[in-house]
């Protein structure tokens, strides 16, 4: 296990020997990291957050419980995954809220997806497999697999393949798309992208 001396890792967090946790990162109670996970400097993972194999959480990212990141997920520097639909410090009578006064809701990030630097995902949302959230975007609704979203609030502006390259449409049949880097083919049907068999 590669854990920097200045990192704060709860005793019951699961951190395999292949994971790397950099300076000043904080992993709270019951965090579970998969194999070959990298947690960047100053990143925060709330209680019970799960991070799948080969994922990368970059510097100063904040991932609040009960977020789940599947395998191969990228979370960019200073990105935030929230967990509260209606955040308040106090109740209506001005008594301070505690964890018993709210129900945490999480962000689910499917395999291979990427969240850009300083993007914010407002829970509860799901980021689909291999989707890409542009830097600085604010995601307020689910993102379909392979979608490229950007803006505030985030809107779909295109499609990406597994490499992250923007897909190109066939001039003759606009329902067909292709990755310019790998040649992989895709079909778009009713706002959903699926990988073609051939």
Q: Which of 78, 73, 67, 70 is nearest to 123 (CA)?
A: 67
Are 92 and 186 members of one domain?
no
The pTM of the full predicted model, rounded to 2 decimals, is 0.94
**Per-residue model confidence as pLDDT tens digits over 15-46:** 999 999 999 999 999 999 999 999 999 999 99
Say how many CA atoms lie within 13 Å of 169 toward its Cβ: 9
Q: Which of 174, 180, 128 is nearest to 154 (CA)?
A: 128
Are 76 and 171 members of one domain?
no
Are 92 and 180 members of one domain?
no
Q: Specify the residue for token string 């505690």.
A: 98
Q: Are strands 44-45 and 26-27 parallel, antiparallel or unpaired?
A: parallel
Query: The domain spanning residue 5 has which CATH number?
Result: 2.160.10.10
Whether cis (ω within 30° of 0) applies to the bond prior to 66 is: yes
List the domain range (segments joined by +) for residue 78.
1-160
**Per-residue model confidence as pLDDT tens digits over 58-107:** 999 999 999 999 999 999 999 999 999 888 999 899 999 988 888 889 99
How many Cβ atoms are within 10 Å of 182's Cβ, its own excluded?
A: 11
Are 139 and 179 members of one domain?
no
Are 43 and 134 members of one domain?
yes
Give yes or no for a contact between 154 and 139, defined as CB atoms under 8 angstroms apart: yes
Are 188 and 96 members of one domain?
no
The whole-number pLDDT of residue 26 equals 98
Positive or negative, the Cα torsion across 171, 174, 176, 179? positive
Are 19 and 48 members of one domain?
yes
**Per-residue model confidence as pLDDT tens digits over 147-197:** 999 999 999 999 999 999 999 999 999 899 999 999 999 999 999 999 987
Domain count for the chain: 2
Are 38 and 92 members of one domain?
yes
**How far apart are alpha carbons 123 and 100 in whole angstroms?**
18
Q: Residue 124 has which token pair?
A: 């509860």
The whole-number pLDDT of residue 1 equals 61
Are 189 and 121 members of one domain?
no
């Amino acid at each position: 296990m590669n854990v920097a001396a200045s990192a704060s890792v709860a005793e019951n967090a699961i951190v395999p020997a292949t994971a790397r946790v950099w300076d000043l990162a904080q992993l709270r109670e019951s965090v579970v990291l998969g194999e070959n996970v990298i947690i960047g400097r100053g990143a925060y993972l709330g209680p019970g957050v799960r991070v799948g194999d080969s994922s990368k959480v970059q510097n100063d990212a904040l991932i609040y419980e009960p977020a789940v990141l599947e395998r191969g997920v990228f979370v960019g520097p200073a990105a935030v995954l929230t967990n509260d639909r209606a955040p308040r410090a106090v109740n209506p009578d001005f008594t301070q809220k505690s964890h018993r006064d709210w129900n945490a809701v999480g962000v689910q990030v499917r395999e291979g997806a990427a969240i850009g630097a300083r993007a914010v995902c407002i829970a509860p949302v799901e980021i689909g497999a291999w989707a890409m959230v542009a830097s600085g975007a604010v995601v307020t609704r689910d993102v379909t697999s392979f979608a490229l979203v950007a803006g505030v609030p985030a809107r779909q502006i295109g499609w990406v393949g597994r490499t992250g390259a923007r897909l190109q449409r066939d001039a003759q049949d606009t329902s067909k798309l292709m990755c310019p880097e790998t040649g992989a083919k895709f079909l778009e049907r009713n706002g959903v992208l699926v990988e073609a068999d051939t």
